[in-house]
Amino acid sequence: MRLSAPIFHLKRLAKRLSRDRGIPLNRALDHIAKQEGFSSWSLLAARSPVHRTSSELLARLSPGDLVLLGARPGHGKTMMALELIAEAVKTGRAGVFFTLEYNKEEALDRFRSVGGNPGALNENFQIDASDAISADYVVDRLKPASRGTIAVIDYLQVLDQNRTKPEISIQVSSLKSFAAKSGVIIVFISQIDRSFELTPKPLPELADVRLPNPLDLALFDKACFLKDGKSRIDMLH
Phi, psi of 32 (to 5 degrees): -65, -40
Residue 57 has what pLDDT? 94
Are residues 216 and 111 located together in one domain of the fold?
yes
| Structural domain contains residue 171 | yes
Q: Can you name the residues that pair with 96 across neighbouring β-strands?
A: 126, 151
Are residues 69 and 25 located together in one domain of the fold?
no
Are residues 61 and 24 located together in one domain of the fold?
no
Are residues 101 and 184 located together in one domain of the fold?
yes
- CATH code at 147? 3.40.50.300
Phi, psi of 131 (to 5 degrees): -70, -10
Are residues 70 and 27 located together in one domain of the fold?
no
| Structural domain contains residue 1 | no
Which of 224, 229, 227 is closest to 56 using CA atoms? 224
* Domains identified in the chain, total number: 2
Are residues 124 and 21 located together in one domain of the fold?
no
Whether the link from the prior residue into 102 is cis, omega within 30° of 0, is no
101-134 pLDDT, tens digit per residue, is: 999 988 988 888 777 776 666 678 999 999 999 9
Q: Which domain holds residue 160?
A: 49-235
Specify the pTM: 0.85
Are residues 35 and 144 located together in one domain of the fold?
no
Are residues 30 and 125 located together in one domain of the fold?
no
Are residues 28 and 53 located together in one domain of the fold?
no
Contacts of 168 (CB under 8 A, 6+ apart): 156, 157, 159, 160, 211, 213, 215
Residues 82, 112: Cα–Cα separation, whole Å: 9
Question: How many other C-beta atoms lie within 10 A of the C-beta of residue 68?
Answer: 22
Residues 29, 45: Cα–Cα separation, whole Å: 10
124-182 pLDDT, tens digit per residue, is: 899 999 999 999 999 999 999 999 999 999 999 998 887 788 999 999 999 999 999 99
